[in-house]
Chains A and B, each alone.
Chain A
Amino acid sequence: MFETIKFNESDVIYKQGLIQEGLFIVKTGSVSLSKEGSLVYKQVREGGYLELERTLNQLPAEFDAKCNEKTEILYVPLQYLDVFVASNPLKTIEMLSLLTEELEVINDKLLNQNQADQFYSVKKEVKILKKETHVEIKAERSYHKILPTEHYKYLFDKDVTCPVCEIKFKMNQIRFSQLEIDHVTKDFRHIYKDIDDLWYQLWRCPHCHYTNFGSEFFKINNLVRNELKISLPRHKMNHDLMLVKNNIQQVFADIYQMNVILDMVTKSSFVKARLWQSYAWLLEDVNDFETAKQAREILLNYLEDAWYNSTSTLDPDDEIKLSLKLAMLSFEFGNIKNARNYILQGVRVKTNNKSLKQRAQDLMYEIKNAH
């Protein structure tokens, strides 16, 4: 009724366009799904399914399925699916789980698309200008996304004294002990349940508008302090004012302000990259994908600078993450040679973190197969 089929390396299990009469479950080995023999879309490993939803919908296969190594496939004909489900409830729950996960991702995309036009007006522009010594953001565009009410549960106000103008003010601070991680994205963004920490990572003095990451806020030396004291304007302010962010536009305003003084407040390419990474992620949150791509290009420049010129020592996991990021970004911007070089160096780093190692190997395989 259910058949285990053995394949050798490079064997083709099925070709794009054919309708499958049964489910393919990878028992051992791994299979690459690709289109017309070009870029590998996905690698399916032990326990995974080949194009599950298309098989269930009886739609033609979207990809060619080719074995990367010796592989065993459990073939379950659709006519015996009821027998398989009744005898394998855990496998069934796993299939349901995979499909719901996929549906959630697509529902989110659709919802975001429905909202895209409402987050900002495309008539107003954002320009990212690469100057000789710095990068300028000229933003006429305003983004409209209100503070999610769930954020309040995780916030408290913190008294801060500005290291530049010495005015006391209050900042919203996250109760990190209460944060619960939901998942980590492919590009290592930590997504927490009910709150987005990116809204609160930058602190901005309401008086002199000195802006920096909370973790870096007090790390400026006297020279920088004096320079900022002279160059930053003073603003009228209510000293009891608590800087509660209620719209994402305020988060962007902080990013723009920090970018203006970026070269003054830090020499670290890692900190600069962190700012541009946050900017790119937040732009994606408001569906401004075009500007996000430009921001990622700047991010790549800063990360490359950090990779080649930084004197900081990274722990092995961070080194792999950095090489993965560089490889992904280089790949995105069409520099396959650099992408291969970065990922190769990442794969060589010794680590006990198996999932990170696996990700590096998967990306290496994907880049290797790119034409």
Chain B
Amino acid sequence: MNDALRKIGSVVQFKQDDIIFFEGEPGDAIYILLSGSVIACRTSDIDGRMIVLATLNTGAVFGEMAVIHEHKRSATIIAQAPILALRIDKANFGQFIMLEPKYAINMLKTLAGRIECTRSRCGEKGC
């Protein structure tokens, strides 16, 4: 990770099972997963059960959906193991893209991959 990125972000750590953010919270930052893995879940409207949407590993960017759209968090993110992540506040998001185009490309490709993956899961389930 380069110095410029350190200046606009802060390294945060979470223990296993810690919740990084909850579905429905305002999106105030994005995270780059420096080590460990997290799961993205949504709560069932019916019984409050958690439904796992995706597992994200080292190098993944998450939390970008709410920041880009200024929406609330669309999923809850839970640490599967102890993790280290770089937190970049919403205000620094534009700067982050200019400083680190490779992360922006990573985000574009990750999102595109997640769309295809979710679409094929949808296809299997007939939705």
Q: Which residues of A contact B (CB under 8 A)?
A: 52-54, 56-57, 59, 81-83, 85-86, 89, 92-93, 95-97, 99-104, 106-107, 109-116, 118-119, 144-146, 148
CB distance from B42 to the nearest CB of A (A): 5
State the majority secondary structure of interface residues on B.
Answer: helix
CB distance from B5 to the nearest CB of A (A): 14
CB-defined contacts of A97 to chain B, threshold 8 Å = 68-69
Asked if B7 is at the interface of the complex by the 8 Å CB criterion, the answer is no
Q: Which residues of B contact A (CB under 8 A)?
A: 42, 44-47, 51, 53, 64-65, 68-69, 71, 74-75, 93-94, 97-98, 101-102, 104-105, 107-109, 111-116, 118-119, 121-122, 125-127
B75 closest partner in A (C-beta)? A107
Given the interface pairs A92-B97, A93-B68, A99-B112, the reply to whether A111 lies near B107 with Cβ below 8 Å is: no
CB-defined contacts of A53 to chain B, threshold 8 Å = 111-112, 115-116
Contact present for A89 and B97 (CB under 8 Å): yes
CB-defined contacts of B119 to chain A, threshold 8 Å = 106
A114 closest partner in B (C-beta)? B51
Partner of B122, one of A99, A102, A109: A109
CB-defined contacts of B126 to chain A, threshold 8 Å = 113
Can you offer 24 A-B residue contacts whose CB atoms are under 8 A? A53-B112, A82-B101, A89-B97, A89-B98, A92-B101, A93-B68, A93-B93, A93-B97, A99-B115, A100-B64, A100-B65, A103-B65, A103-B115, A103-B118, A104-B69, A104-B74, A107-B53, A110-B127, A115-B45, A118-B44, A118-B46, A144-B46, A145-B45, A146-B45
State the majority secondary structure of interface residues on A.
Answer: helix
CB-defined contacts of B111 to chain A, threshold 8 Å = 53, 96, 99-100, 103
Partner of A85, one of B64, B93, B101, B125: B101
